[in-house]
Amino acid sequence: MRNVPGYLDLMERGLLEHRVEELTSMLRNCRLCRRECGVDRTRGERGWCGAGGVMEVSSTCVHRGEEPVLMGDAGVGNVFLARCTMHCVYCQNHSISQPGPGRRPEWGMTPQELAMRLLEFQKSGCPTAGFVTPTHYAPIVFQAVALAASRGFRLPVIYNTGTYDSMDLLGLLDGLVDIYLPDMKYSDPVPGEEYSEAPGYPAFSREAVLEMHRQVGDLAVDEHGTAFRGLLIRLLVLPGGVSGTEDTLRFIARELGTGTFVSLMSQYYPTHMAGSHPPLDRRLRPGEYRRAEDLLVELGFENGWVQDPVDSPDTCLPGIDFSL
């Protein structure tokens, strides 16, 4: 497998500019997520997520709390996009993902400015650059990636998503994204709608993950053990079986194979509006996590990470404790 970011390959073949133009055209009749609002964001209209035509970035930083395979020695150069295509009642980043109506001028960032941040990540030694909750800003994000690439940027790109992306969007991301980092939240549609306002979530997320895997395959690492391409799935175990993690693990094993990299997270703690939504109003019990962990082993998963279910809410946000 060639260890060259996909966007550089597209650029070498003279296809990158056209692909970014295709992505940008989606803003005129927005269908980036599964809601497919159809608003014209190039005219300043805002969709369900609250995003308009200006990219809003809450922060950029070198983040050392991701899975080890993504960080190398330096950490991931992460870009945290504001707003979200889902409204999880327990979101740990709700002040960023659900900030209320209206644009936050202090968050506004141009593609040119973001391109410079990406180049700074590369200069600081980050082995990867990650975009956190990028779905609704994907066209503008990849405008920035293309600009950075023209100036020497060559880090693998991580697309860290809640997995409510439209299939039209994912089709255009083929070759642009090097590492997909989806969070598969639910295996039952009822909690998906009740707790995240995401109708049809399980079927949509599974279809999306299958497409991601088709594009990039299993996670591949370089001679230093750092990922440069592939799929890594995050599963946050929720109290009371709300996430249906065991069903999701069976789906992954059956449809993608037990070589798939899985990050099984126990770091849930009640925040935001979770206090009024039992059983999400309490922390995850160790036994609830152990059942998912036992199934992970029983199904024969070969690659991934687990967390300590006792202290992870205090020490792992979102750090990873130890590998399988």
The DSSP H or E segment spanning 228 is strand 227-236
Cα distances (angstroms) measured from residue 99 to each of 32, 50, 58, 96, 169: 20, 9, 11, 6, 24
Please give the pLDDT value at position 315. Answer: 53
Separation of alpha carbons 78 and 62, rounded Å: 6
- Domains (range + CATH), the chain: 6-323 (3.20.20.70)
Separation of alpha carbons 107 and 230, rounded Å: 30
Widest distance between CA atoms in the chain: 53
Q: pTM for the complete prediction?
A: 0.95
The answer to whether the CB of 82 falls within 8 A of the CB of 56 is yes
**What residue ranges of the chain have pLDDT lower than 50?**
316-324
Please give the pLDDT value at position 253. Answer: 98
The answer to whether the CB of 251 falls within 8 A of the CB of 292 is no
The answer to whether the CB of 231 falls within 8 A of the CB of 211 is no
Query: DSSP state, 240?
Result: G
| Structure confidence by residue, pLDDT tens digits, 160-191 | 999 999 999 999 999 999 999 999 999 999 99
User: Which among 67, 76, 68, 324 is positioned nearest to 183, based on CA atoms?
Assistant: 67
| Structure confidence by residue, pLDDT tens digits, 285-318 | 999 999 999 999 999 999 999 988 877 665 544 4
